[in-house]
């Protein structure tokens, strides 16, 4: 089978280290022939992300802290300067204060609520606005979400509420950008051990619950999320927009 993403350029936000879901996606995109552009969040991450980018053929690396409007403007200029249209955006970013992922949701502060929504939901809107003009031949935008958007998951708290806003944003963006041939979707991944996941209190009990109750009797793997991202990025996904696809070993269908 020929490479599914040959000739496509993909911008991937959210690689922090080798365990990041975004890194699994970047590797799968490379396997399928895409040209990769990665971003890092500030100087603290630069060396790690540049080192990882060095493992991908000809990948470029730009700075982008999504809370800084000036960084989005600079990102747009750097993308324009490449002289190539953009085909794919992967938004794999989230943040909430640690204390908001352990105490009761009702204790969430105004600032903590705003921060979680700014980084984890609004950034999909602002980054989509930044890159959509560069998707001159249409494109595919995707974000990472979690079941906590739809159901109560202990300790996920404000992040669940931010993911609900993110999933609604997927639908509104899909409606806005569809006329330009840009598709917007979410991938709802099952729990995966990453730096962000470790910030959630008792995360290992979530992994155990999924492994015992999911139809596939195991947790999902980053590579499975990445292959779904390949599908959405490729022409195979050309009829799919405004959707949230679950890659969770089937856990979300289970009731009692
Ligand atoms: P991760 O910690 O590797 O990635 C989170 C990324 O968000 C990091 O690269 C971090 O730099 C970035 N980020 C945070 N604030 C930012 C900012 N202001 N500007 C730019 N980047 C910023 O963890 P991950 O688990 O790979 O998370 C990626 C996405 O997947 C998140 O949206 C997360 O909610 C989602 N997700 C994770 C799981 C899981 O169990 N790990 C499950 C479902 C969905």
* Per-residue pLDDT tens digits for 32-49: 999 999 999 999 999 999
Amino acid 241: pLDDT: 99
pTM recorded for the entire structure = 0.98
- Cβ atoms 108, 157 nearer than 8 A: yes
Catalytic residues: 146, 156
Given a cut of 70, is residue 229 above it in pLDDT? yes
Residue nearest atom 5 in ligand 1 by C-alpha distance: 93
11 pocket-lining for ligand 1 (C-beta < 6 Å): no
Q: Cα–Cα distance between 26 and 222 in angstroms, integer?
A: 11
Convert 177-194 to b/e letters by CB count within 10 Å (16 or more is b). Answer: beeeebbbbbbbbbbbeb
Q: What is the pLDDT of residues 108-125, one digit of tens each?
A: 999 999 999 999 999 999
Residues 226 and 118: their CA atoms lie apart, in Å, by 25
Domains defined along the chain, listed by start: 9-246 (3.40.50.720)
Decide if pLDDT at 1 tops 90.
no
Give dist(CA 184, CA 140) in Å, integer. Answer: 6
The pLDDT of 89-117, averaged and rounded, is: 97
Q: Is 197 in the pocket of ligand 1 (CB under 6 A)?
A: yes
Atom of ligand 1 nearest to the CA of 195: 2
pLDDT value of residue 2: 82
Determine if ligand 1 sits within 6 Å of the CB of residue 194: yes
Is it the case that residue 148 has pLDDT exceeding 70?
Answer: yes
Asked if the model's pLDDT at residue 63 lies above 90, the reply is yes
C-alpha to C-alpha distance for 248 and 89, rounded to whole angstroms? 22
């Amino acid at each position: 089978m020929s490479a599914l993403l040959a000739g496509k350029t993909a911008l991937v936000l959210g690689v922090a280290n080798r365990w990041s879901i975004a890194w699994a996606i970047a590797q799968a995109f490379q396997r399928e022939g895409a040209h990769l552009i990665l971003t890092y969040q500030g100087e603290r991450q630069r060396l790690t992300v540049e080192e990882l980018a060095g493992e991908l053929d000809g990948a470029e690396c730009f700075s982008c802290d999504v809370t800084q409007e000036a960084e989005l403007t600079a990102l747009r200029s750097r993308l324009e300067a490449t002289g190539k249209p953009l085909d794919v955006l992967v938004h794999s970013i989230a943040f909430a204060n640690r204390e908001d992922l352990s105490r009761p949701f009702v204790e969430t502060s105004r600032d903590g609520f705003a921060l979680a929504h700014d980084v984890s939901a609004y950034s999909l809107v602002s980054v989509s606005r930044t890159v959509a003009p560069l998707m001159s031949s249409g494109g595919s935008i995707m974000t990472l979400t979690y079941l906590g958007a739809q159901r109560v998951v202990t300790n996920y708290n404000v992040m669940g509420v931010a993911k609900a806003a993110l999933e609604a944003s997927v639908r509104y963006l899909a409606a806005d950008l569809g006329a330009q041939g840009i598709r917007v979707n979410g991938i709802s991944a099952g729990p995966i051990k990453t730096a962000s996941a470790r910030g959630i209190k008792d995360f290992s009990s979530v992994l155990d619950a999924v492994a015992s109750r999911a139809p596939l009797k195991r947790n999902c793997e980053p590579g499975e999320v990445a292959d779904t991202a390949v599908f959405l990025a490729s022409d195979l996904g050309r009829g799919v927009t405004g959707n949230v696809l679950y890659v969770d070993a089937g856990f979300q269908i289970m009731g009692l």
